[in-house]
Amino acid sequence: MQKRWILRTPPDNHLVNKLSGELHISEDLAYLLVQRGVKTYDEARSFFKPVLEDIHNPYLMQDMQKSVERVEQAIKDKEKILVFGDYDVDGTSAVALVYSFLKTIAQEHEIEYYIPDRYGEGYGISMRAIEYAKEKGFSLIISLDCGIKCHEEIDLAVTYGIDVIVCDHHLPDKTLPKACAVLDPKREDCSYPYKELSGCGVGFKLVHAIAQNRMIPLKELGKYFDLVALSIASDIVPITGENRVFAYFGLRLINERPRQAIESLLGFGSIVRKTPDQTLPPEKTAVKTVFVREITINDLVFAVGPRINAAGRMDTGRSSVHLLVTNEITEITTLGERVDMNNKERRELDAKTTGEAIDMVSAEFDLQSKKSLVVYNPSWSKGVIGIVASRLVEQFYKPTIVLTFFNDIITGSARSVKDFDLYIALSQCDDLLEHFGGHTFAAGLSLKPEKLNEFSERFEQIVSSTISETSIMPTIDIDKEISLDIITMDFFKIAKRFSPFGPGNLSPVFMTKNVFDTGYARIVGQNHLKLSLFQKYNGNYSIDAIAFGLGEHYDRISKGEPFHICYSIDLNEWQGKSSLQLNIKDIRFDFNQA
C-alpha cells in the first residue's frame, strides 16, 4: 500500500539557533527539540531530566478532596473497600497500584479487588459486581479505568447504600454518574492541567492525594511508577507532560529495581535488562537466546502488555493483578507461566480470526468505493476482536469495526485511522447502539442484531461524507531531511535521550534523498532488504540499513539506481559490538510521489 510522506512544518529558525547555542548541541538536534515544543533551556532540562516536582498537585483535580475524605472515613470506620478495575492492562495495573497502597494504610481484610469477567460481565462496572459488593458487605467501591458511563450500575449501588468513587480517563457523557466523587481530567468542569492521564494515572493521583493528606512524601510512592509506566505504554496515551514524568521514572525503576512480575514477563519475551556488568543470569542463557538491553516503552508494549492483556482475554484478569501484587517467587513463576500460555493461545486465535476477517473483506467488500469496514461473525471470540480490528486497519487502512455475538447481543471493537475521530462518528449512531465508549482512535460498542444492517450503512455514510481521501492513505510523518554523514554515535546518543518515545513524542524519523547501495544489497529473512548506503558527495561515509518487507525494491537498488528513504536510527548490538543502523520505513525512486 502506497504511503504518503509528510515532512513536518519546520520550527522557527531563530529558536533553533538560540537553543542550539544554549545547550551546545547541533542545530539538527535543536531543530527536533523545538519541533517537540522544547524552546528554552529550562524546558529542555524538564524534557531531558524530569523531576518529581514536575508532577501536578492532585488536589487540582475536581472532586479529589471529596474522594480523599470518603476513603479516609472508610478506613477510620473500618468499612470494606472494593477496588474495581477493567480487565485490560490499564485497569489491572491501576487495581494493583491502588490495592497495594491501600493495604499499607488499612487492615488487609478490609480491602479486596474485583476484575470483571470479560465474557460474563463485559466492560465497566457490572451489575454482578454491585450485587457481589452488597452480598459481601462492601460500602465503598473505587472504580479504575471505567465507571464514567456506568449510570445504571452506580444508581443500583446507591440504592444499596454503597458509595462509588469513579477514577476514569474516558470522555464522560453530558451527565455524570451519581457517584459520591468522579475523578476524570476530561470532565468539562475539571481544571486539572494535564488531560491525558491513563486510567492507572488517575488512580495514582488518588493515591498521591491520600499520601499528601497523611504527610507521606511523594518519593515513597515511587515504587508504583512502574505500574503507571506500564499503563501508559499499553493504553497508548501521549507520552507528554505528566505522562512523560511517570514514564521516565517508571522505566528507570524497571531498569534498576524491577518488580519481579515485570521482569518475569520480559523474560518470557526473551528480553533481559542490561545490568551494570552486562552479564546474563546463567539460568536464562542456558534456556534460550535472549536480547540484553535497556528496557524501553516498546518492550512494555510488545512483551509485557500483551501477556497481561491475554489473561483477561483468555482466562481472568484477576491472574494479572495477583501477578503484579505478589512477592512470592513460586507464585510469580506459576502465574507468569499461566499468563504466557494465555498469550500463546491468544496469538493463535488472533491469527486464525484475522485470516478469516481478511478473507471476508476481500470477498465481500468493494475496497475501491468503501471508506469503512464493518465485519461480523457470530463465532468469533470476543477476546480478540479488538486486536483483529487493529490488524484490519494495518491491512486496509480504513476505519474498521469487528463484531461478534455474545449473550444475545452483538458486541464489537472499533479502530480508526489518522485524522478520523471514531468517537464522534459512533456518537452519530448513538440511537442504534446499546452502549459505546472509548477514544478518538479506539472504541467499544454493542447493538441489537436487528440494528446491524442499519448501523453498518449509517456508519459507512458518516465515514464517506466526512473522511478525506488522504486520510485513508497510510502516512509517514518525517521530522527532518538530513544527509547521512551527520549520523554519528554522538548524534544518536543525544537523540536517544529524547525517550521515552510514544504518542506525542515519537522516535525521530528522517528523510534522505539520492542514496545508493555500496553493492552489498541482499534479501534476508522474509522479503527484507539488508543494505549499506552512501551518498556520492559524502566521500567514503556509509551506513548499514535494514528495510523490513521491502524486498521488492532489490532489483532496482542492486542495479545502482539512486533512491530516497525515510527511516529511524537504531543501535545494532551483535556479539558485544555496537553499530548504527537505519531502520527504513519506506523507499521511493520518484520523489514526486512523496
Backbone angles phi, psi at 157, to 5 degrees: -60, -40
Chain mean position to CA 266 = 17
Q: Among candidates 367, 372, 376, which has minimal Cα distance to 460?
A: 372
> Cα(507)–Cα(501) distance, rounded to whole angstroms?
6
Q: Kindly report, residue by residue over 14-51, the tens digit of the pLDDT.
A: 999 999 999 999 999 999 999 999 999 999 999 999 99
Predicted pLDDT at 228: 98
Specify the residue for cell string 468517537. Answer: 423
Predicted pLDDT at 306: 93
Per-residue DSSP letter, 467:
-
Q: Among candidates 513, 543, 507, 557, which has minimal Cα distance to 32?
A: 507
Predicted pLDDT at 578: 83
C-beta of residue 463 within 8 angstroms of C-beta of residue 372: yes
C-beta of residue 529 within 8 angstroms of C-beta of residue 512: no
For 476-593, CATH gives 2.40.50.460
Helices (H) and strands (E) in the chain, counts: 21, 21
Spatial neighbors of 591 by CB under 8 A, at least 6 apart, are 513, 564
Q: And the C-alpha cell for 475?
A: 502516512
Predicted pLDDT at 248: 97
Q: And the C-alpha cell for 127?
A: 451489575
Q: Is the pTM of this model over 0.85?
A: yes
Q: Among candidates 191, 176, 162, which has minimal Cα distance to 81?
A: 162
> Cα(513)–Cα(523) distance, rounded to whole angstroms?
22
Specify the residue for cell string 475536581. Answer: 62
Domain 365-472 has CATH 3.10.310.30: yes
Backbone angles phi, psi at 513, to 5 degrees: -95, 155
Break the chain into its structural domains and give their ranges: 58-237, 259-352, 365-472, 476-593
Q: Kindly report, residue by residue over 524-561, the tens digit of the pLDDT.
A: 998 999 999 999 887 778 999 999 999 999 999 999 99
Burial class (CB in 10 A: 0-12, 13-18, 19+), 79: middle
In which band, very low, low, confident or very high, does the pLDDT at 594 lie, cut at 50, 70 and 90?
Answer: very low
Instruction: State the sign of the Cα–Cα–Cα–Cα dihedral 93, 98, 99, 101.
Output: positive
C-beta of residue 412 within 8 angstroms of C-beta of residue 382: no
Q: Kindly report, residue by residue over 239-254, the tens digit of the pLDDT.
A: 999 999 999 999 999 9
Q: At CA 213, angle to CA 148 and CA 143, rounded to 5?
A: 20
Q: And the C-alpha cell for 92?
A: 489491572
If you write DSSP's letter for every residue of 10-43 in order, what string do you get? Answer: PPPHHHHHHHHHHHT--HHHHHHHHHTT--SHHH
Q: Among candidates 54, 63, 70, 92, which has minimal Cα distance to 184?
A: 63
Specify the residue for cell string 532496482. Answer: 556
**Mean of the pLDDT values across residues 54-82?**
97
**Mean of the pLDDT values across residues 463-481?**
91
Predicted pLDDT at 277: 59
Topology classification of domain 58-237: inorganic pyrophosphatase (n-terminal core) (3.90.1640)
